Chain A
Amino acid sequence: MKILVTIKQVPDTATQVKVAADGKTIDTTGITWIVSPYDEFAVEEALRIKEKRGQGEVVAVSLGPDRVKEALRSCLAMGCDRAIHLNDPAWAAADTLATARALAAVIKQESAQLVLCGRQAIDDDMGAVTAQLAELLGWPCAYWIMEETIDADAKSVRAARQVEGGLEVFDLPLPAVLAAQKGLNEPRYPTLKGIMGAKKKEIKDLKASDLGGAVEPSQLSVVGLQALPPRPPGRIIQGDVPTAVKELVRSLREDAKAI
């Protein structure tokens, strides 16, 4: 069974994000880049499926500039068999739909039987690519999955997704697209052998022309980015307890409108 995992390289969770001078992008100076954590759940699940079945292939794929190779190499170190890098200036302004179109073309080329994604990337939190991908492929899709089981002859997958107060269980015929939620698994650390072996594995570069088509212009354009306003300081209510409590209740009701 061939499993394709889509990953996105994002700034490390500890990054102090700053808006760049153009007002439309973030300042990437000094940023440490990582594989988006939800995508790591997807990679881990794909590797577990392969290990459980004792056969198959796991291919990591990502769209982005040269630096994305590092993220793909991390996936190879974790155990993915090979990687595909969609690297073309034509995709520099790709929105989620343009990204999904490119990924769908790769998935068709590769004839994957299962696609695993993270439920969303932790940079812009759009969470749209998985659904767009499934729509473009015409495949069933389950989001926020916490469990999955593929039947013995790889014809269908039972996936349980997180809903308020429980799990909602679906049977999906394969091929299908699944988006991983936190809790699906605990991603492994790459072993030293995995890391040393990663450089011997293939990362194939693909251009837009390799996917047989021009890149359609993005439908979504970023008008501007604004930093969050600084949080107003807390207020300490002075005075004896009965007076302070009265003032607290008044303030919660009238100023904060919280009660």
Chain B
Amino acid sequence: MAHFEKAKSLNEWLDQRIGINTLKKVMQSEYWIPKNINFLWAMGMVLAATFGILLVSGIFLLMYYNPSTDLAFDSVNYTIMTEVGYGWLWRHIHGVGASLVFLIIYIHMFTGIYYGSYKKGRELIWISGMLLFVLFSAEAFSGYMLPWGQMSYWAGMVITNLFSGGSLHADGLVEWIRGDYVPAQAFLSRFFMLHVLLMPLAIIGAIVFHFGTLRLPHVNNQDGKEIDFEESARLWKEGTTESRRKSEVIPFSPVFLSKDVFVMGVYFILFFYLVFYHFEFAMDPVNFDPANGLKTPTHIYPEWYFLWSYEILRPFPTDPGLVAFAIAQVIFFTLPFLDMSPNVAPANKRGAFHIWFWLMLIDMLVLTFMGKLPPEGIWSTIGLVAAITFFVLWISLPIITKLEKKL
């Protein structure tokens, strides 16, 4: 039995038992964030807050949702929407949140790309972040199946068919994933399980890992400057106005968090504006028809956040299309290794990479718009050019970064 003194306060009592003061230091008051940052550095906590909101709204939806092919559609569109008190609120929060979480993920990713926050010790931050992107994609897709409308059914059909691998004809694998020849009860039940349990568990684990990868290399700053965190921390802890001014860092909590809370405030004004007045942007009208395995909707397209990769699949014949699609899904993982330049600096100081950054961003926007349009005439051509550009950009990345002058 270890020796315990009688505690004089609750804090001391907890500190004796679980080292709460050390925990607070490591996670909050002595986790240092550079001062030289802007509002884009708040996206991480904005994402964490959005995930929290998705979790809470999801818990309330789960109370009335019925994962049966006969009842799922009505349990959402009738029970939750018309009978359950404020059921509509949870559904609209969940739908809008699922859409906005991807908007913020993309902003978070492109912020990292712009400022070079994936290099020199920060590779695992990037990789764990990309892992989260993949897990969120799986979470979004499995959730999209649950209302069992026409878009749910046909997105389920098309996406699971991707696993046949084109000419490989792995139909057995597709049927295994579905548990049936077509998406049916077995399919709905297992995707329900994935959406409400396995994927959220994996996401929570990956978030912890993502935070862990940040702790030693620390977050980047606007100039990619290497900061002497020990010296700056010492200056901050000295506590005088003069020394804190000289210090290049602030503690995560409460100083950085208070900046985050301000950005979150602005974000949640947009969030709830959409929830109350424009929730329809996250609700595809086609999905208000119940699933029908004998009728394909005229146009099948994914939600906006998957359109760019869908458009990389679409303009090519099946096999090359699948290969292109598969590469597009994982190519961002390799960014820290394809960028051969030693410079950690914002893109505007990196010459050719600056152009590369904006071309990539514009190309992905073009792919997104083309993915929504029907695959006909000029739109097909623009889509094909944009898809090829995507790969040309990735192939050129190691070359232009290799040639980049050392700053």
Chains A and B bind each other: no
